[in-house]
Structure 1
Amino acid sequence: MKTVAILGFGCAGYHCAMSLRTEGYKGDIHVFSDTDLPPYNPMLTTYYAGHRLPWKGLFPFGTLKGIAKSLHLTLHTNSPVERLDCKDRVVRLANGERVPFDAALISTGARVFIPPIPDLPEKNIYVMRTPNDAQALRDRLDRGDVRRAVVVGASMVGIKVAELFQRAGCQCVLADMAPSLFPLAAVPEVGKELAGRVEAKGVELKFGVGLSGIRETGDGLAVSFDKETLSADAVVLAIGTRPNLDFLDDTGPQVDRGVLVNEQMETSIPGVYAAGDCSSGYDIQSGRHQIIGLWANAGYQGVTAAGAMLGHPVRYPGTLLHNITHFMDMDFIGFGDVKAQGEVIRWRNNGFFLYAIRREGKLALVNIVDNHIISGVIKSFMSRKFLGNCEPISPMQRVILLRNGLNEDVIHLLESTELEGDLIHG
């Protein structure tokens, strides 16, 4: 193998390149990026927009020049890939350049989803994904002329953007078609619990409403939902993302929303791998392919792809769906299948709320409000179960749970494989 092509240079692409060099690969590594920025963490953008993180803090691996020098990379920046020619093993760029490869990693990430709204205005509408997005919203907040804001999307990103407006003293409405907050991670009962706490902070919530239009007015924007129109000085769309795969055609790897991969991160095309937010890897709970847009997951996938390229006996079995976020002085953590049905475990302790569903002797879902300390123990226990490890919670992990709000009865319920009916505590 003489040449590796890495398409997209985020967390997955960086870890692939770094691992290749760490494992002794001496050949060429060509990196293709549609920007000239180094790898950045999208989940840190709201912190920069709110002056809680410096610009360089968005880039955890350092400068692009420094990375390229240390890893001996050939960079193709501001160079969108027009087509990945898997048959001839060539990367074709929009400027006409052609770069051959022996192995390739597709790690092009995802972009913000913009709904197909007719005549969408160009001004006063923002998204939050890239450092440039964060800079645009930061500049607008710094101007101090936003009195009313509307955030569309009750997602992890949406709530943190709403917090930015709330901290700036703006009237803010957070709206979504879903019936409650965090619909992809929180069960309705927990979503409503969080909603009450958010509304107490001064953010107005509107659920079950679909965005139908945005138009310019004399002094801002009119944001239309099913039966109501709101006025706003700024609108942020935080509805979701879509994988960046426009450069693939029918001759490329198989795609099901993301590029389908096996446990070595190899696609349906031998020698072509995929990782990160554009790949569809394994959810260890369901055993199905799914895009899992998590920073750590992307890193593991990139390392695995590098090992597979080098012929090493690597295997990444996948991960458990999970979300962890901090906003407005509260925490939410969600693990597992939000649609799971089964026995319910509830526990309250001084503002801490745990809601769990147990199915077929395993925890199928856990939602935690305001207790991030226990989240690592819970995730580890759930993940081991889905991977076939039946060991109970260890004595040290039990101490962590006991010291942070749980008692022996609740721990027993979380561990138990016996059917005990609906379980309500606290």
Structure 2
Amino acid sequence: MRHVIIGNSAAGIFAAEEIRRLKPEDKIIILSDEKEPAYSRCLTSYYIAGKVEEENMRIRTKNFYHDLNIEFYPGEKVMEADVSKMFLKTSSGKVIDYDRLLVASGARAVQPDLDGGEGTGVFTLRTLSDARGIVERCKKTDRAVVAGGGLVSLKATYGLMARGLKVTVVIASGQILSQVLDDKAAGLIQKHLEKHHVEFIFGHEVMQVILDEEHSCQGVKLDDGTELSCGLVVIGKGVIPNTDFLNKDEVEIGQGIKVDQNLKTSADGVYAAGDVAESFDFFNAKSALYAIWPNATAQGQIAGSNMAGEKMVYEGALSMNSMNFFGLNAICAGESRARGSGFDISFEYDPQNNYYRKFVFHQELLAGYILVGNVARAGILTGMIGQKISPPDCAALLKNGVASLGI
């Protein structure tokens, strides 16, 4: 049996390990459009900050591919997948056939159509190569602009600040981290970042990168005409799943590649996992993209098992995010923003001490939470999502956390 995996990050690596465990003699091929051995994308901002070296970003040893008898093709981008004839065409002209295919191709950073966006010194932050470029550019400037207020943008901001740059963050909305946190939690983090000299501009967008005669970034212009001087721009406008090589008439694609509970796609012998897969929510069964590391590893392992002949079921994804900015921790999971009807909310809020604890319930079931400041035992809380919690237990959770429940 020939197993081909498109993608060399969390989902692809965990799938390969599971296939090899179950099928010692089967052939495994991994194709990656990046030239790197497997590494953690979660650490790119820490690499920019100078807190971690490249070798410590690797998620497997140098001998991983050899030890597991995996054919690894770095820098080999898949250009076309013919799922009816079960073969792939790559950027170098290779034609690779398969018996089982896992699409774990991840996602790429959105590239806005920005005047001057192609200039030197303009980056997104998705890959190790992006991070290397940003580090080199930091040596040539002391000012940066970050466009976007999401988690990747703020992690990039942290990395740039740690490098000694002055950073201005331009956000179209009125709140940082609006996709993952409510206004109270976001407000605490914003004020904490401002105390560390991060400047925020809300309600505006970067419309142009100002370039010099050598096509190098000298600043940006906002939608109201304001010009900001900088030598480096990081654009954080989200990601889009890598599905361009697939025929939508052969593989069902919505926001991402649609999969069932076995991580199978609509095409025979084809599975999908990780940031490219549109799976369903553990709590509410809604279909969506859940582009976070824990979901990718779980999906990869289950997809790999099923490619090897098992019948494992994926129980659903859960939205989770954790962050630390200059010593302030925050974690959220599940229906943390409680958007929609039918939710009950309990919270404690102490802005003077950077403390916030919020629990969201749906029909007495824990549906999600946000913790800012004290995030002890958050993993246990995540495991409790979907469980029934009584009002007295809820009060105890707010006051003392999960320790109050004897856990």
Structure 2 length-normalised TM: 0.90
**Residue 206 of structure 2: SS of its match in structure 1?**
coil
Q: 1:354 aligns with which of 357, 364, 368?
A: 357
99, 123, 143: which one aligns with 1:148: 143
Q: Say if 1:167 and 1:119 are closer, same or farther in 2 by CA, change over 3 A.
A: closer
Q: How big is the shift at 1:106?
A: 0.2
Query: Conserved in 2, the CA contact under 8 Å of 1:179 and 1:188?
Result: no
* 1:241 counterpart = 2:239: yes
CA–CA distance in structure 2, aligned partners of residues 187 and 411 of structure 1: 25
1:222 aligns with 2:219: yes
Which of 192, 197, 205 is 1:202 aligned to? 197
AA paired with 2:113?
P
Within-5 A mapping of 1:60-99: 60-63=59-62, 66-99=63-96
1:339, CA displacement in angstroms? Answer: 4.7
Give distance in 2, aligned partners of 1:320 and 1:168: 33
Give unmatched runs, 5+ long, in structure 1. Answer: 413-426
Answering whether residue 25 of structure 2 is matched by residue 32 of structure 1, we say no
* Partner deviation per Cα, 1:254-282 (whole Å, 9 max, x = no partner): 11121111111100112100011111111
Are residues 131 and 220 of structure 1, via their aligned partners in 2, closer, same or farther at CA, if it must alter by over 3 Å? closer
Residue 384 of structure 2 corresponds to 381
C-alpha separation between the residues in 1 aligned to 2:52 and 2:37?
Answer: 17
Quick one: which amino acid aligns to residue 144 of structure 2? A
> Any idea what SS the aligned residue of 1:373 has?
coil
Q: Distance in 2 between matches of 1:95 and 1:136?
A: 25
Match of 1:13 in 2: 12
State the shift of 1:89 in Å.
Answer: 0.7
Structure 1 counterpart SS, 2:247: coil
What is the match of residue 324 of structure 2? 326
Identity of aligned pairs, percent?
23
Amino acid at match of 1:347: E
Q: Is the contact between residue 49 and residue 160 of structure 2 (CA under 8 Å) also seen in structure 1?
A: no
Alignment of 1:260-339 (within 5 A): 260-337=258-335, 338-339=337-338
What's 1:42 paired with? Answer: 41
In the alignment, is the contact (CA less than 8 A) between 2:295 and 2:318 conserved in 1? no
Q: 1:327 to 1:25 in 2, by over 3 A?
A: same
Matched, 1:407 2:407: no
Q: Residue type matched to 1:346 in 2?
A: F
Structure 1 window deviating more from structure 2 (295-304 vs 337-346): it is 337-346
CA distance in 1, matches of 2:390, 2:292: 26
Conserved in 2, the CA contact under 8 Å of 1:381 and 1:392? no
Let me know the Cα RMSD of the aligned residues.
Answer: 2.5
Seen in structure 2, the aligned counterparts of structure 1 residues 258 and 411 have a Cα distance that, compared at 3 Å, is farther
CA contact (8 A) 2:364 2:390 kept: no
5+ unaligned residues in a row in structure 2: which ranges?
none
1:118, CA displacement in angstroms?
3.2
* Aligned equivalents of 1:44, 1:82: Cα separation in 2: 28
User: Are 1:131 and 2:131 matched, yes or no?
Assistant: no
Deviation at 1:330, TM superposition (A): 0.7
Aligned counterpart, 1:193: 188
1:280 partner amino acid: E
Displacement of 1:175 after TM fit? 1.5
Contact 1:58–1:131 (CA<8 Å) still a contact in 2? no
Q: CA deviation at 1:288?
A: 1.5
| Other structure's SS at 1:60 match | coil
Pair 85,34 (structure 1): closer, same or farther in 2 beyond 3 Å = same
- Counterpart of 1:167 in structure 2 is 162
1:165 aligned partner, one-letter code: L
2:28 & 2:401 partners in 1: Cα distance?
Answer: 53
Moved more, 214-223 or 51-60: 214-223
Q: TM-score, normalised on structure 1? A: 0.86
Give the Cα–Cα distance (whole angstroms) in 2 for the partners of residues 252 and 339 of structure 1.
Answer: 36
Aligned to 1:423: none
Name whichever of 371-380 and 299-308 sits farther off: 371-380
